[in-house]
């Protein structure tokens, strides 16, 4: 993601297994804090849809 800022998921703040998310104008990147070499990339609309589906899956 270059020089973008990464932030940890609020659900994993106290755990060592964290998901980190970084965003730029045209994409959202997601990575595992323990293995930063693998990054999933989403377009913003895809990310919003993905998160909305996760929220409704409970």
Domain range spanning residue 38?
6-56
More confident residue, 4 or 35: 35
In a domain, 17, yes or no: yes
How many distinct structural domains can be found in the chain?
A: 1
Say what the alpha-carbon torsion angle 18, 37, 31, 43 is, to the nearest 10 degrees.
170
Tokens of 52: 């909305």
Q: In this predicted model, what pLDDT tens digit does every residue of 14-42 receive, in sequence order?
A: 666 788 888 887 899 999 888 888 899 99
Residues 19/33, Cβ–Cβ less than 8 Å: yes
CB neighbours of residue 31 within 10 Å: 19
Q: What are phi and psi of 57, to 5 degrees?
A: -85, -5
- Residues recorded for the chain: 58
Q: Is the residue at 38 inside a domain?
A: yes
pTM above 0.85, yes or no: no
1 found inside a domain: no
């Amino acid at each position: 993601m270059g020089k973008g800022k990464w932030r940890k998921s609020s659900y994993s703040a106290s755990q060592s297994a964290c998901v980190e998310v970084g965003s730029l104008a045209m994409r959202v990147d997601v990575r595992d804090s323990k293995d930063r070499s693998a990054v999933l990339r989403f377009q913003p609309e895809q990310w919003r849809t993905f998160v909305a589906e996760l929220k409704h899956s409970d």
